[in-house]
């Protein structure tokens, strides 16, 4: 007589004449070991879901904070907001922590929660296909195949550097590298350096490059609003106070959070309220840049917040130094020994540094996750991402996305968003257990209504009608990046998981087994012969 039993590896009921599933099977496979992936692993294990693996292509945790090591790299969100709420760090050295401290914090979280035993370093996910027959994901990785009931994609939108499409860039004879792939073995001292891009990363590394290079040319397409950075060192007494009285740090964290949220009143409700921060930005520009011609080039002609706001006390000053030229003419081409702009000027350089951001709408893992209709997430999105609550995507069952479409913030810490998503993911997994479900797939109509509502809320905000073109917008000019209101509203929206929003498939039932009286019975939780 056939044996029917629940297989712990695949979470399915199988008979003894059925081919056994892969032994390398987990309940949840997490892609990425940055803030999102590590937070997911910690919270899943705390909720009793232990059958978890983290797949990390690098050899260390940290995600973007492991990858980005350029000079001056630091958080542009106050340190006290840039930690998990369940793992505050009382030892931040400054109000705005440098990259090395953030990476140390993530390493410490990894060790304190015993995560190294479930992280597979040096493991690149090459593909993930939904298997409808068995109701799980089949992954191909650089270290072999794996199956998983659920996937959490947490590689983040800032994981793939964007290389600009400039004619002749590959013909340049000198060194070319992106800020996220910094060449620490390449000396800039006494050389001629060109920086393409003037966003948040460039604002951090340009002051360091200016001090080394004999000549620095900074190529700017659109100036950004640059605001004073309220940075200072934390004293030993403050850090001791935070360690002994954690509620003091939590109170400080809350005050910083709600202060940052007040900016939204102007960003989303009444743009006239932005006059005050704009006046502060103009004052900061006048104070740091003496040359009126240069100031005119650096003065934005759009509302503050339309593009990402830059916080810096040394970027503008660095641009006003004798060895720096701010170039605003469009780049026509790169030649073997330099850059030629549209006005025909040829500027020679030895090194080109790309401060050109990231491919937020085409993260590589999205090209590799293939859903129910044989298309990848990237194919479905076609450059214009949509999801439900920024976390689940129709046609991709049992797949959860951390920091998905329209979850970004233009004024506050993304950790608040990540933690809200983790609550939602865990609620979904617990609902699957409670209802004995094999899969969940958000209904397309639910996803469509949600995104229509998001776009309606974004209409009239500075991010859409602020007079600029930013990386917040997709190729069609639609904002698929930012959450349209206060971040605590997102937290409330994800607090309860509603099974009615999903198409579901039940777990495979056990085969009927005759009872002692000959009547068939079905058992789900024991092995019978």
* Residue ranges covered by each domain of the chain: 4-8+24-61+115-160+359-445+480-506, 169-236+246-354
Within 72-199, residue ranges assigned H as helices are: 99-112
The pLDDT score that the predictor gives to residue 241 is 96
Q: How far is 326 from 297, CA to CA, in rounded Å?
A: 8
The answer on pLDDT for 436 being more than 60 is yes
Rounded to an integer, the average pLDDT of 293-309 is 96
DSSP tag of 266? I
CATH of domain 4-8+24-61+115-160+359-445+480-506: 3.50.50.60
Tens of pLDDT, residues 388-419 = 999 999 999 999 999 999 999 988 999 999 99
Cα–Cα distance measured from residue 462 to residue 407, given in angstroms and rounded to the nearest whole number: 16
Q: Give the residue from 37, 193, 192 showing the smallest Cα distance to 119.
A: 37
Who contacts 370 (Cβ-Cβ below 8 Å, separation ≥6)? 127, 128, 129, 130, 376
DSSP calls for 207-218:
HHHHHH-SEEEE
Give the 3-state secondary structure of residue 31: strand
**What are 218's strand-pairing partners?**
195, 326
Spatial CA neighbour of 72 closest among 159, 185, 182: 182
The three-point CA angle 189-192-193 to 5° equals 90
**What percent of the chain has a predicted confidence (pLDDT) above 70?**
91
Provide the whole-model pTM. 0.89
Q: Which helix (H) or strand (E) holds 152?
A: strand 144-153
Q: Assess if CATH 3.50.50.60 describes domain 169-236+246-354.
A: yes
pLDDT digits (tens, 9 = 90+) for 62-95: 999 999 999 999 999 999 999 999 999 999 999 9
Q: From its phi and psi, is residue 423 left (phi > 0), alpha (psi between -120 and 50) or beta? A: alpha
SS3 132: coil
**Do the two domains 4-8+24-61+115-160+359-445+480-506 and 169-236+246-354 of this chain adopt the same fold?**
yes
Work out the average pLDDT over 298-320.
96
| Residue in 404, 378, 380, 406 with CA at minimum distance from that of residue 391 | 404
Reply yes or no on whether the pLDDT at 210 is more than 70: yes
> Considering only CA atoms, which of 277, 255, 253, 256 is closest in space to residue 265?
277
């Amino acid at each position: 007589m056939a044996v029917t039993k629940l297989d712990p590896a695949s979470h399915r009921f199988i008979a003894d004449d059925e081919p056994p599933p892969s032994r390398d099977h987990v309940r949840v496979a997490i892609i990425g070991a940055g803030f999102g992936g590590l937070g997911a692993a910690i919270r899943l294990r705390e909720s009793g879901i232990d059958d978890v693996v983290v797949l990390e292509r690098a050899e260390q945790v940290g995600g973007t904070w492991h990858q980005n090591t350029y000079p001056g790299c630091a958080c542009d969100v106050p340190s006290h907001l840039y930690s998990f709420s369940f793992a505050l760090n009382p030892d931040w050295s400054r109000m705005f922590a440098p990259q090395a401290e953030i990476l140390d914090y993530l390493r410490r979280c990894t060790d304190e929660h015993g995560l190294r035993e479930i992280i597979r370093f040096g493991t690149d996910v090459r593909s993930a296909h939904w298997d409808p027959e068995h109701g799980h994901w089949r992954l191909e990785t650089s270290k072999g195949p794996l199956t998983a009931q659920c996937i959490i994609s947490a590689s983040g939108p800032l994981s793939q550097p964007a290389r600009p499409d400039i004619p002749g860039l590959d013909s340049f004879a000198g060194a070319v590298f992106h800020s996220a792939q910094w060449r620490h073995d390449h000396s800039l001292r006494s050389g001629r350096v060109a920086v393409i891009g003037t966003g948040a990363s460039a604002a951090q590394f340009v002051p360091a490059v200016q001090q080394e290079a004999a000549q620095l040319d900074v190529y700017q397409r659109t100036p950004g609003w640059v605001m004073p950075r309220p940075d200072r060192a934390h004293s030993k007494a403050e850090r001791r106070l935070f360690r002994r009285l954690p509620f003091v740090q939590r109170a400080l964290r809350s005050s910083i959070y709600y202060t940052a949220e007040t900016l939204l009143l102007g960003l989303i409700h009444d743009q006239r309220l932005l006059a005050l921060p704009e006046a502060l930005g103009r004052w900061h520009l006048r104070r740091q840049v003496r040359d009126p011609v240069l100031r005119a080039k650096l003065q934005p002609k759009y509302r503050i917040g339309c593009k990402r706001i830059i916080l810096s006390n040394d970027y503008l000053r660095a641009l006003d130094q004798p060895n720096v030229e701010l170039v605003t003419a469009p780049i026509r081409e790169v030649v073997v020994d330099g850059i030629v702009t549209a006005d025909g000027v040829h500027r020679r350089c030895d090194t080109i540094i790309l401060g050109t951001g990231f491919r937020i709408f085409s993260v590589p893992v999205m090209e590799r996750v293939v859903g129910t209709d044989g298309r990848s997430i990237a194919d479905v999105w076609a450059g214009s991402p949509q999801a439900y609550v920024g976390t689940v995507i129709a046609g991709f069952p049992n797949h959860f996305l951390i920091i998905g479409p329209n979850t970004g913030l233009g004024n506050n810490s993304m950790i608040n968003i990540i933690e809200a998503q983790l609550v939602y993911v865990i609620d979904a997994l617990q609902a699957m257990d409670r209802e004995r479900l094999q899969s969940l797939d958000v209904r397309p109509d639910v996803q469509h209504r949600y995104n229509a509502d998001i776009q309606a809320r974004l209409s009239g905000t500075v991010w859409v009608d602020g007079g600029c073109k930013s990386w917040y917008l997709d190729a069609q000019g639609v904002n698929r990046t930012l959450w349209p209101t206060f971040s605590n509203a997102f937290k409330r929206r994800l607090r309860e998981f509603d099974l009615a929003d999903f198409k579901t498939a039940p777990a495979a039932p056990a085969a009927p087994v005759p009872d002692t009286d000959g009547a068939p019975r079905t058992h789900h939780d024991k092995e019978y012969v």
